Each structure stands twice: as structure tokens, then as C-alpha cells.
Amino acid sequence: METATVNGAPGVLGAFGGDPRRAIQEDAITCLVCGGPFRQLNNFHLRLHGLTAEAYKERFGYNLGRPLMCGALKRLYVQRAIQVGLAATIRHRPILAQPELRRRGGIRPLALEELLTRREIRLARRTRREP
């Protein structure tokens, strides 16, 4: 695969047009360091590259809350969570749990993934409005 640089970090991102979201497919997620396809990028694989999940997400511009797994596996986990009632036990609100967010009025740094998504939404809205 073709290599590219994101925030000074080399990888295979160039094959995805500089958009890390394209590395996450329905049946596989492509490691942007080695180019290998996986169902999930787990800590063991990321350690082979000397990375943690958080460092990988920051390096390639993913949201820190993004699961590093393919779409099919993510849906399976969601279905299991619904079956066991996990959603009812989650009561986490970042603005309350993290005082630094309250000080900044909820403003947080945006990852490349989120910036690209917002750009696509704005463009889609513009094209719908134009006659």
C-alpha cells in the first residue's frame, strides 16, 4: 500500500485519500501502520507497532471514543449490550465528569475524523439548498 504522513506520522493513510474513516469497512478495519486487515485492532496488535489505542487514534485523527473494529463486529457488540441491558447502567456525562470541560464551556479539541464528517455534512446541506 501507498504510505502517507498524518501529523508527521507515516502509515498507509494515502491509500484512503487521507481520510481515516475509510479504513473502517463493514467486514474489516485496516491498520494504518502496517496495512493489514483485521476485525478489530486490539491492544496486542497495536503494541507490535509500539502504540496504545489512544496513541493510534490521536496519530491518525480518530475520535477518542471511536471503537477500532469493523462495522459487523460493532453491531454484534451493540446487540449483546442491548440484550444484557448494559445501556441502562451507563450514566456518563463528560461535561459533568471532567471539570476542565466545564471551564471551557464544553469546547473540546476536534479529531480529523470529526472535522471531515462535519465538512461532508455542510457540503451535503449546501448542495440540497442550491436549485
Q: What pLDDT was estimated at residue 6?
A: 45
For residue 67, give the C-alpha cell: 471503537
- Tens-digit pLDDT profile for residues 66-79: 899 999 999 999 89
Whole-Å CA distances, 14 to 1, 35, 73, 85, 104: 8, 11, 25, 41, 35
Q: Residue 30 and residue 99: Cα distance in Å, rounded?
A: 35
Domain ranges for the chain? 4-129
Please state the pTM of the whole predicted model. 0.68
